[in-house]
Amino acid sequence: MQEETLYLILYGAATMLSLTACCYLLLRRSNAIVPDVTSPVRLRWWTAAFFASMTLSHIWYLPTFYFTANDDKLLGTLIGATLDFLTLVPLGIVVLMSMLQDRRRPLWLAGVMMVPIIAVMTVCIANCSITHLPVVYIYYLSLGIGLIIYMVREVRQYGRWLRDNYADLEHKEVWQSFVVLAVILLFFGIYTLDPHGLAYQYATQVNNIILVCYLVWRVETLSELNVTPLQQS
């Protein structure tokens, strides 16, 4: 009982932190961490949307703590996971793409990537069964590997663009974005190994807290770059 209470406290702290970070990015126009840096407005808004989805994710999982029947807990978890794949995961991909300012990338692709997962999760919800979840695991892992390959290529291209157009690279490079990808894949592995254990639950909330702090720092320390017609050519 004491462990559950401590976990709920940590759960609430992660929820409030993501909500606070969302409000901060939306309401404060200037940076608090690095006041002399003007962060990209587009990245600021997308990151705020990501934090809002993280807050909502904590809210729609909350009822599962009070379900007593295993079928109810399973159904609640499946619905929560589906909502995460509709909001949290694609918004995370959009945030990563928005960090690269050399050109506008098609952000709608992040939503298209989730269509197969949503289809399988819908079947799982309809049957209240986890029979098809291995398909989700395999696709999600493949998606993560593909995203890493894509980001490696895009970040290298972005680095070349920076060196060609800016002599001073301070507050402009984004290699730290791979920290986010590493964390996502790490916790995918933890989820597949022990999806219901207490260690997983604690680790997930600690991951959320670290992720919020990291992304706020990333937004605040990344300088907005104006792409001129000469640079685009």
In 3D space, the residue among 127, 36, 6, 146 whose CA is nearest the CA of residue 75 turns out to be 127
205: amino acid identity, one letter: Q
Whether the model pTM is above 0.85? yes
> Position of tokens 């997962």?
117
pLDDT, position 191: 57
Tell me if 222 sits within 8 A of 43, measured CB to CB.
yes
How far apart, in whole angstroms, are the C-alpha atoms of residue 151 and residue 172? Answer: 16
pLDDT, position 195: 55
Q: Which residues contact 37 (CB under 8 A, 6 or more apart)?
A: 31, 171, 220, 221, 222, 223
Angle, CA of 134, 140 and 146, to the nearest 5°: 140
Question: Measured between alpha carbons, how far is residue 212 from residues 13, 192, 225 in Å?
Answer: 12, 23, 23
pLDDT, position 196: 59
Identify the segments of the chain with pLDDT beneath 70. 1, 167, 176-179, 181-182, 184-197, 227-233
Tokens at 73, concatenated: 């807990």
pLDDT, position 70: 81
How far apart, in whole angstroms, are the C-alpha atoms of residue 125 and residue 75? Answer: 6
> Position of tokens 């974005």?
177
